[in-house]
Amino acid sequence: MRPVIDRVYETVLYADDVRVTASFYADALGLRFVEEPDELAAAFRLPDGGMLLLFDPRLASRPGRRVPSHGATGSGHVAFGVEPGSLDSWKERLATSGIEVEQAVDWDGRGRSLYLRDPAGNSVELVDGDIWPA
């Protein structure tokens, strides 16, 4: 039997201030903490079972950790699928939270996206629909 990749299990974004950025994902986007954030990391369980991790890149890149060192510089990107038809509600929720929508995109009838930034400058996309051709 040939092994097959099933799904993305975890995604990591990097933030110099993990606690502030974690508050954004918990408060503004309603993600559920797996454990409370510390100076190194924060972990969120997504409804589909996947994980969103936030790491301080300076601490995550240090050698000798339990897992291999890793990190990135510059802004990352994550896209979250949202419940069909809920993008306008998301737009209202973000506005109420004082979060600016950087850009809205209609993907030629396949779906729509809202783009915003987290406190660390990462690009966050909310997707309503299946925007990638099959």
Residue ranges of alpha helices (H) inside the chain are: 18-23, 57-60, 87-96
Give pLDDT tens digits for 21-45. 999 999 999 999 998 899 999 999 9
* pTM (whole model) above 0.85: yes
Give pLDDT tens digits for 51-100. 999 999 999 888 888 888 888 888 999 999 999 999 999 999 999 999 99
Domains and CATH numbers, the chain: 10-63+75-129 (3.10.180.10)
Distance CA 53, CA 33 (A): 10
Number of Cβ atoms within 10 Å of the Cβ of 96: 9
